[in-house]
Chain A
Amino acid sequence: DGGITQSPKYLFRKEGQNVTLSCEQNLNHDAMYWYRQDPGQGLRLIYYSQIVNDFQKGDIAEGYSVSREKKESFPLTVTSAQKNPTAFYLCASSIQGWNEQFFGPGTRLTVL
């Protein structure tokens, strides 16, 4: 089946630790995105990538980092510099930047 997978579904992290969230897509989409979802705030864009080996900061990139070494993969690292990392993280992809986005199931990160 074609789609977007995110792992793990739940993730717990101690303060001061970096953690990496996985996102893989087999839709052959060029563009990939990371959003953060908090109650009452909708989805906020963290990073996006329109093509392999290129990515841009979104609205709330501070404390996060990404890489795009392969078309199908766009991992997100939440670093210890992120002051409030507890949230639901959504990965998405689209054929191109102007088109509709398809979303993965999300990863819920909790900082203990």
Chain B
Amino acid sequence: AQSVSQHNHHVILSEAASLELGCNYSYGGTVNLFWYVQYPGQHLQLLLKYFSGDPLVKGIKGFEAEFIKSKFSFNLRKPSVQWSDTAEYFCAVNAGTGRRALTFGSGTRLQVQP
């Protein structure tokens, strides 16, 4: 079965610091990759997605992620975080199997201090 690992469970940064959140998945075939964000009290919403093509994808609010197939990774980055980025971030994978549903990582709670 496919699995997704997010090794950073809780990250605390100061404003203007750079961010990188790790995501690794276990499936070796074709995958669709997603990062979702859950701001306090709000719906889970899509930050960015990768289906094919350029492995460096850009999303909303200045976030980007790089798909490295050889490392089974899809790490999320932002050069300079803001207090408003405080949220929980989830990596998700949809693998090319018969199951057409997302598998989520356990999430990373990001706290940005002003």
Contact = CB atoms under 8 A, between A and B. Distances in A.
Interface residues of B, number: 23
B101 A43 contact: no
Interface of A: 31, 33, 35, 40-45, 48, 50, 56, 58, 90, 92, 96-98, 100-106
A101 B104 CA distance: 12
Contact of A103 (B45, B49, B94): B45
Interface in B1-47: 4, 6, 9, 32, 34, 36, 43-46
A6 B101 CA distance: 20
A40 B49 contact: no
Contacts of A102: 46
B37 to A, nearest CB: 11
Given A33-B101, A45-B101, A50-B100, A103 B44 contact: yes
Interface of B: 4, 6, 9, 32, 34, 36, 43-46, 49, 90, 92, 94, 99-107
Interface centre among B94, B100, B103 (most CB of A within 10 A): B100
Nearest to B95: A98
Given A100-B46, A103-B45, A42 B99 contact: no
Nearest to B49: A100
Contacts of A44: 104
Given A100-B46, A105-B43, A48 B104 contact: no
A101 B103 CA distance: 12
